[in-house]
Structure 1
Amino acid sequence: MKRLIVITLFLLAATAFITFKYFKNLNTSGMHAGNIIRTIPDNAAVVFEFTNEKSFYDIYNGNDLLKNLIGGQKISELDTVRKVLFGSAELGTSFNGRNVFISVHPLTTNQPDLLLTTSAAKDFDISRFDNLAAKQKAGMLITPLKIGEKRGYNIYFNSLKKRFYIINIDANIFSGSFSKELITLYANYKADRDKQAFMLLPDQQNSNSLANLYINYQRLGPLFSQLFKNSNTDIFKPFRLLPALAALNLNFKNDAIMFSGYSNIQTNKPGTYLNIFTKQQPVTNQLKDLYPATTAYAVNLAVSDPVKFSADLSEFYTNAGLHAEKDALFAKIKTETGLSLQREFANLLGNEFAVVTTRYQERIAIISVKNGSKLKPFVNNISRMITDDAGQFNYLKVPYFLLGDVFSAFKKPYFRVIDNYLILANSIKELDSYNDTYFNRKFLNKTQQYVKFDNLQAERSNVAFFMNFKNAQQILKNGLTDDYYSAYKNNPLSWKNFYAASYQFAATDKNFYTNFCLLQNQPDTVVNKKSD
């Protein structure tokens, strides 16, 4: 009996010790994540989180994925900060194993920059920076810095010939940047404890994750306005308007960057077009198989209940103050043609509709319908026919009011019904171009690299954005600011080294399960696939 009691006590002690160590690890890593991220200025659009430990760096050692994602120069600068400053004997033990947050902020200089935020061990004394400054051959020159009430240091790295500014923001939380403007903004920033700028992960999920990506979608707008000449670019536009916060986990692959997690709708903010799709069920994506081989980027939308979608879209326009214009349009069509277009179209609408932009800046809408033969009389009735199978709508903004924001570019489009698809374009030339693509099967999915990329994507979604970087190069040249296009095109490590990107939303509990994928370039070959 005594032996049994001793064994039981030993097991209880071991369990208590393991539990203590587990929660101690959470306390030194995941538990502090929420405290740290709340101090980051809320104009950040994106925050990347990882743990400052050797195992993380070893995973990507010799791999260019993160270098291509962030840029060779930025990675070199961050690596110098890690090795020379935080890897020094004076600081290393206090910052090793800590959560590191790299956030992206738009600045008044129209040059977004990075902010690095982390915490030190509880027993850390800021005077260790002074001890490091006294060293003769540390590879850097450290001088005291004070911004407002915040104490910090101005660090000049000899190898970079560049200054890095670091401040003690609160307790043992430190933040640094190569931008004096950004660090000054941070030093003077007063966090609103009642305002949530980023969605937080549960402590255990955070602790078990290799890396995380946090996104405030509505903060992407100011960031895009500094990257693009036209801040109203339609690239990723519906996502930039969405009132939602995302927290995504990194899924490691050696040739792709993949994140997955949740994008939660902020119900205290006005809804946007994409909010409508949270009321649907995810749908198997098939229209992507009809994307032309020249596709630069595309948005694919999918609904499980087209009639409900039509009703929800109508309600959205009412809430947006557009119901009078919408009702007047469909009333005019009813008077002149006898057609209840909105109701008839909703009954014939299939489960998917997409807008594709090609490398030649052609814009094509592909809309699946339940029965193309039944649809033809309706669209013919509201159009002037140019050929036996192609015509042009007589009325403005019909696609916009039938299908939503993504179709706003099609004012009075040309159309053709091919099998069970309604094809729209802004010119006969574009319409004929897609006709050639369709009947000669000149689709993007004929290449091996696309097939590999598609295998990484979720099979079902409600909203999916896709970009092929090679096909989009001319569009990016015309759209990006000169500095950013030059960096994209000429730097050996940049996004041009990725084949494609996708961002997918699948509705779940009135929010979105989210998948983000970037696949690195590989030699491309043609695939002989059996066509239908």
Structure 2
Amino acid sequence: MKKIIILTSALLLGVAFMAYLYFSKLGIDNDAKDLALQSATNNAALVFSFRNDKSFYDIIEGQHLIQQVLGKDKMTLLKQLKASIIDDNLLNRYVKDQQVYISVLPDSNKTLNFLITLQIQPENDIKKFYGQLKIKKVVSEKAKDLFTVKINDSLSVYLGVHGQVLTASTSLKLINDANVRLTENPFTEYIKENNHQIKNVLANIYINFNQAPLLLKNIIAGNINGEIALFNQQNSFAVLNYNFSREKILFNGSTELKDQHNYLKLFENTAAQNTSIQNILPDNTANYALYAYDDYRKWLRKLNTWQEKKEILSKTDAVIKRVKNDYRTDLNFIFTNYTKNQFIVFQLSTSEKLGAISLSDGEKTKQLLLDVSTDYNDDIKLFKSADILYSYFGEPFKKFTRPYYTIVDNNLVVANNASTVQSFLNHYKNNRLLIQTPQYLDAMNEISTTSNVSYYINTKNSADIFRHNIQLSFYRHLRADSGLKSFDTFCYQMSADKNKFITNLLLNKYIQPEIPDSLSNRY
């Protein structure tokens, strides 16, 4: 019996040891495969990924919209770098079919730059690749493991060789930074976890919102505050698949919120909604953020839990109690009974900011709010107490401390100045609305009719806002005919899918239909 026990134990130990060796080796192999990814994701907020395959280059060369987004200089650099290495059969055989990563990273002097990363095929000898590099006329050795590739008479690209990984950039700083691979990088792990979603896809973009502040500091002219302050604490990632089109740039995928205190967590596990509140927006709307949920009472309970975690629930409770004591108005009764399933905050081309909340009965709500309001004129009122809307809707209404408001067609519309509310009313009454513009309608036809969170930018209406808030070099690219000027719409749309958000990212340009000569000659 003892011999059987000893033999069985030895057998189990042997199996365990072999399994350990196998999975250890598998782990080492996987780590080796991920070296390029580790370099690409270090400090990156955006990583564009595709397979080094001829079919990809053939397809993307016909996508002139991508070329406009990148800009003439960056596109010329990528084309010439491809011609120097990828189109060279002797060099390309070492990296054929490997994954290519293009990281967008902050560089010196308030600029952004590319870092291109790819890995030499594991079966190829790195020493032979070195040998091939050294005999190329356009490539010269600058230092150990560092080469320069001559693009033209005035431009050279650094080419780093670190183990089996190649990195290329016009910035030596980015090459050196890429050599420092983090042993633990949540962005790397997120990409690896989502690799199963990217099979048979032309290209992907990965977004690391944790690193967004580093990018924004090089783009914006001031501090990261106001609407973009959320990027300071946005522990989120996204993986999006590229959908080829000659008319638009569209990515589809998912966004995942890692921070349990993130305000957007309030919209998880909620059915996506048909929204209509955006239909009241003026035609000079520059941007908006729209939020939707299925039932306000349920959503309010989520908000109260979030407020408790943020240690602000006692403050919001005090606001509600003070209003009840001072004005004998039960705000809980009003908002829980007459708030519908969506609200929005938006900014006009004049930089004025407004918010709106959908109501089930606007006239009844107007009557119930009389005691807590002061008349400005027949149409516009002013809340007597501060932080009412912040208490019931959270972060988007934080800046509307004691706003002016009006109620039109079952929508409560607020702003910090009476003149802003009046401007809104003038547009609304005269039917000068965003929903009437062909550019907006064209863009909305490209994405889902239901969502939970949507961010929208009208690039034309935002021109003056951009001019005062971003660095001159980026503004010039935004307004250049060869750059982003012809794009009229940016939209980032999120629809809850359990603990993730199905996501659409759209950059759209409206192409006005041509009128046939036979018709135009009639007028």
Q: Which category describes the TM-score, using the shorter chain as reference length?
A: 0.7 to 0.9
2: CA distance, partners of 1:285 / 1:32: 47
In 2, the alpha carbon distance for the partners of 1:454 and 1:328 equals 41
Structure 2 equivalent of residue 497 of structure 1: 486
Alignment partner for residue 380 of structure 2, among 368, 390, 399? 390
Q: Secondary structure at the match of 2:199?
A: helix
Partner of 1:25: none
- Distance apart, 1:400 and its partner CA: 1.8
With over 3 angstroms needed to count, the CA separation of the structure-2 counterparts of 1:199 and 1:370, relative to structure 1, is farther
What is the aligned partner in structure 1 of residue 101 from structure 2? Answer: 101
Aligned match for 2:291, one of 301, 311, 317: 301
How far has the Cα of 1:42 moved from its partner? 3.3
Residue pair 2:40, 2:102 contacting (<8 A) in 1 also: no
1:83-162 to structure 2, matched below 5 A, reads 83-107=83-107, 109-122=109-122, 123-135=124-136, 138=137, 140-146=138-144, 151-159=145-153, 161-162=154-155
Name the CA distance, whole Å, in 1 between partners of 2:384 and 2:446. Answer: 42
Q: Would you say 1:221 and 2:226 are equivalent positions?
A: no
**Is the Cα contact below 8 Å between 1:33 and 1:99 reproduced in 2?**
no
Which aligned pairs between 1:452-467 and structure 2 lie closer than 5 A?
452-467=442-457
Question: Are 1:321 and 2:311 matched, yes or no?
Answer: yes
Counterpart for residue 255 of structure 1: 247
Q: Partner of 2:181 in structure 1?
A: 189
- Residue 72 of structure 1 corresponds to 72
When residues 239 and 368 of structure 1 are mapped into structure 2, their CA distance, relative to the original with a 3 A threshold, is farther
1:163 aligns with 2:156: yes
AA partner of residue 422 (structure 1):
L
**What's the TM-score once normalised by structure 2's chain length?**
0.86
Correspondent of 2:504 among 492, 495, 515:
515
Paired with 2:372 and 2:268, the residues of 1 have a C-alpha distance of 31
SS at match of 2:40: coil
Identity, in percent, stands at 24
- CA distance in 2 between partners of 1:233 and 1:68 (Å): 29
Query: Structure 1 stretches (4+) deviating beyond 6 angstroms?
Result: 30-33
Matches within 5 A, 1:365-376: 365-376=355-366
Contact map agreement 1:198 1:215 (CA 8 A) in 2: no
- Counterpart CA distance in 2 for 1:239 and 1:304 is 26
Return the letter of the residue paired with 1:110. Answer: K
Q: Is the Cα contact below 8 Å between 2:362 and 2:409 reproduced in 1?
A: yes
Judging changes above 3 Å, is the alpha-carbon distance between structure 1 residues 58 and 73 closer, same or farther for their aligned structure 2 residues?
A: same
For 1:185 and 1:31, locate their aligned partners in 2 and report how far apart those are by CA, in whole Å: 19
* Structure 2 residue aligned with 1:48: 48
Pairwise CA distance, 1:410:
1.2
Quick check: 1:273 aligned with 2:273? no
Q: Which amino acid aligns with 1:143?
A: E
Q: Does the C-alpha gap of structure 1 residues 520 and 367 become closer, same or farther in structure 2, counting only changes over 3 Å? A: same
**In structure 2, do the counterparts of structure 1 residues 265 and 224 end up closer, same or farther at CA, with 3 Å as the change threshold?**
same
AA in 2 matched with 1:70:
L
Q: Could you tell me whether the CA contact under 8 Å between 2:133 and 2:139 is conserved in 1?
A: no
Aligned CA distance change for structure 1 residues 510 and 89 (closer, same or farther; 3 Å): closer
Which runs of 5 or more structure 1 residues have no equivalent in the other structure? 1-29, 526-532
Aligned pair count?
Answer: 485
* SS at 1:95 equivalent: coil
| Alpha-carbon spacing, 1:216–1:193, altered in 2? closer, same or farther (3 Å) | closer
Deviates more, 1:456-465 or 1:356-365: 356-365
1:359 is aligned to 2:349: yes
Contact 1:350 1:369 in 2 (8 A): yes
What secondary structure, in the 3-state scheme, does the structure 2 residue paired with 1:498 have?
coil
Three-state SS of the structure 2 residue aligned to 1:456 is: coil
Instruction: Please provide the CA RMSD for this pair.
Output: 2.5
Distance in 1, matches of 2:161 and 2:335, equals 60
Deviation at 1:279, TM superposition (A): 3.7
Which position in structure 1 is the counterpart of 2:37?
37
TM normalised by structure 1 equals: 0.85
Q: CA–CA distance in 1 between the matches of 2:513 and 2:387?
A: 40
Distance 2:238 2:182 in 1: 23
Q: What is the rounded CA distance, in whole Å, between the counterparts of 1:343 and 1:145 in structure 2?
A: 73
Question: Secondary structure in 1 aligned to 2:465?
Answer: helix
Which amino acid letter does the alignment assign opposite residue 478 of structure 2? Y
1:402-458 CA distances to partner (integer Å, 9 max, x unpaired)? 212112221211101112010111212111111122222111121222221110011
CA distance 1:501–1:236, change in 2 (3 Å): farther
